Amino acid sequence: MARDCFAGVMSGTSLDGVDAVVADFAATGGKPCRTLGAAHVGLPTMLRDELLALQLPGKNELARAGSAANMLAELYADAIARALAEAKLTATDVKAAGVHGQTLRHRPDLGITVQLNNAARVAEKTGMTIVADFRSRDVAAGGQGAPLVPAFHAALFARKDRHRVIVNIGGIANMTDLPPGGPVLGFDTGPGNALSDLWCARNRGATFDAQGSWAATGKVVPALLDLLLADPFFKAPPPKSTHRDKFNLQWLEEKVRATRGKEEAEDVQATLVALTARTIADAIRLHANDATEVLICGGGANNASLMRDLAQELKPRRLGTTADEGVAVEQVEALAFAWLAREALAGRPGNLPAVTGAKGPRVLGAIYPR
């Protein structure tokens, strides 16, 4: 059988690095795709710090953003090359790569979404057709531009005999409801790892709390948790999406100060983990209460403290990860953008209007030919 190979690249809100995959979308064993190769390239500290700084207005930011985009392009090309090497393929074996870029601003309420990227540079470096800028068309059509992964979640994980929810926990968490035979629903539930990563960096000098081990030493502060949960975003109906524009260190520190700011740092960390678990579980209870199975992907799946809180919050539903279905938790989003690139080249819509709120189906992505 002829192969139908595409690559996908994702660097998420957590800023932990770049994930790339090469996948074959030819029908194999009843599955919509098969991963042939994968790679992870960490972000240099300097670039990570610059991307965080570019989240806010600053001096000479246009030139700085251009330089950061070029550095990202080099990392994207490197990650693709490594994934190709693992797959034992060359650039000419792959029809296109979907390269999402790094989100710096996401304000669909203002018609704004900015993904830092230099897709032309990636095309030059890789010798491949590159598809980028996936969110803009959906936002232009009145949608949130996010999440874009539910259509792929449905293709990969929907089952006729069970009601599933897929939850991606990156910097921001999003859920996809997959009722058997029913409409697909999806939206951002709120912060995933973004706040706990920032708090860990502020207090421990580490970019993230490995396995949630630091959070496990703290205790949830009920008054702080209640104040965090009171944010209107959590009760707003879908379609909805969010980013660091809203859930950032300033937002968190305001809440901590409002509770007199006397909590131990590890207790705040434990409370942030509880916030992520509670808001995900509340969203599932409200919008997918009949679900019997929840599968987690993204970096949050590796946080033991968060997974314990989720298991408690989601009882009696079965909690697992996408790895249970043979898809590594860190590969799901990259695979989704490989799939979106495939849809773009075929001229097929990649969005779900019921998810994003767009006026209708739209072909997503700008194409940079090899």
Report the range of poorest mean pLDDT among 45-59, 226-240, 290-304, 327-341: 45-59
pLDDT in tens, 26-74: 866 667 789 999 999 999 999 999 998 998 888 999 999 999 999 999 9
Tokens of 129: 């057709």
- Model confidence at 182, pLDDT cuts 50, 70, 90, reads confident
Is residue 241 in some structural domain?
yes
The number of folded domains in the chain is 2
∠ CA 319-321-322, nearest 5°, is 135
- The verdict on 176 and 317 lying in the same domain is yes
DSSP string, 42-105: PPPHHHHHHHHHTTS--TTHHHHHHHHHHHHHHHHHHHHHHHHHHHT--GGG-SEEEE--EEEE
pLDDT at residue 302 greater than cutoff 90: yes
Which amino acid, one-letter code, is at 312?
Q
**pLDDT band per the 50, 70, 90 thresholds, residue 15:** confident
Domain contains 346: no
Q: Which residues pair with 178 in a beta bridge?
A: 164
Average model confidence (pLDDT) for the chain? 95
Asked if residue 138 is part of any domain, the answer here is yes
Q: At what angle do helices 304-314 and 265-287 cross, to 10 degrees?
A: 40
Tokens 């985009």: give the residue: 69
Residue with tokens 């990259």: 334
If asked whether residues 139 and 154 sit together in one domain, one would say: no
Q: Is residue 341 part of a domain?
A: no
Does 250 share its domain with 161?
A: yes
b vs e for 308-344, b when ≥16 Cβ sit within 10 Å of the residue's Cβ?
ebbeebbeebebbbbbebebbbbbbbbbbbbbbbbbb
pLDDT band at 199 (very low <50, low <70, confident <90, very high): very high
344 located within any domain? no
Asked if 137 and 159 sit in the same domain, the reply is no
Evaluate if residue 1 carries a pLDDT over 70: no
Range of the domain at 262: 150-325
Do you find a cis peptide bond into 147, omega within 30 degrees of 0?
yes
Helices 222-229 and 249-258, packing angle to 10 deg: 130
Q: Residue 298 falls within a domain, yes or no?
A: yes
For the stretch 330-347, pLDDT in tens is 999 999 999 999 999 999
Q: Mean pLDDT check: name the lowest of 20-29, 139-148, 244-253.
A: 20-29
Q: What is the CATH number of the domain that holds 275?
A: 3.30.420.40
- How much is the pLDDT for 29? 62
Confirm whether 314 is domain-assigned: yes
Are residue 174 and residue 304 in the same domain, yes or no?
yes
- pLDDT value at residue 30: 62
pLDDT of residue 31: 73
If asked whether residues 128 and 204 sit together in one domain, one would say no
Percent of the chain with pLDDT over 90: 91
Residue 260 has pLDDT above 60, yes or no: yes
User: Are residues 157 and 296 located together in one domain of the fold?
Assistant: yes
